[in-house]
Amino acid sequence: MIAIKSRSVKAVIVVSVFLLAGLILPGLSLASAGGFQISKALSQDFETKHFNSEYHYYALMDGGAPYAIVGLEKGYRVIGPDWRPVNMDSLRLSALVSRVEESPVEGSCAYGAYILDSQNRKIGAWYSSYMAGEVVNEQTKTVSITLHPNWLLN
């Protein structure tokens, strides 16, 4: 039996195991990281109160204040305890957009972005002043959105 006496050799082995696991396990997962594609046109759509009637809409709420608006293709849904479904119409969108714009993150402004799946296909829309990341589970058609923690300083 070979005895590993050097701490640096042990450290290299441990790091190698974690790196290999990090490369192998995502391939086994049903969820995949998508992304956001910032869009000036989409920002203008929200600002002018235009919405895609083919999307299901959700608002990220804290008390009565919305932090973000998400629209997703039919068949997809956003998951998380603070997301509320919204039956969208022009008046409701106008009210939500105004409230999102009234309380932006300090030093930031609200922006629109397309929500992309792992194949960079546009599956939805995002409007907020918060930075976020998202994961799409193609099997369950769910989208999980996480706000950047450094921006949650309320």
pLDDT tens digits, residue range 101-149? Answer: 887 677 788 999 999 998 899 999 999 998 888 999 999 999 999 887 6
Beta-carbon count within 10 A of 2 CB? 4
pLDDT of residue 62: 84
Farthest CA pair distance, the chain: 74
pLDDT tens digits, residue range 54-67? Answer: 999 999 998 888 98
Q: What phi, psi does 29 have (nearest 5°)? A: -80, 150
Can you name the residues that pair with 125 across neighbouring β-strands? 71, 114
pLDDT tens digits, residue range 80-101? Answer: 989 999 999 989 999 999 999 8
Q: With a cut of 80, say whether residue 72 has pLDDT above it.
A: yes
Kindly list the domain boundaries of the chain, sorted by start residue. 32-151
Q: How far apart are CA 42 and CA 46, in angstroms?
A: 6
Distances in Å between the alpha carbon of 78 and those of 23, 99, 150? 27, 20, 22
Q: With a cut of 80, say whether residue 49 has pLDDT above it.
A: yes
pLDDT of residue 14: 40
Q: 61, exposed or middle or buried, with CB in 10 Å at 0-12, 13-18, 19+?
A: middle
Q: What phi, psi does 46 have (nearest 5°)? A: -65, -45
Contact 96, 113 (CB under 8 A): no
Q: Is the pTM of this model over 0.85?
A: no
Distances in Å between the alpha carbon of 135 and those of 8, 14, 128? 36, 28, 17
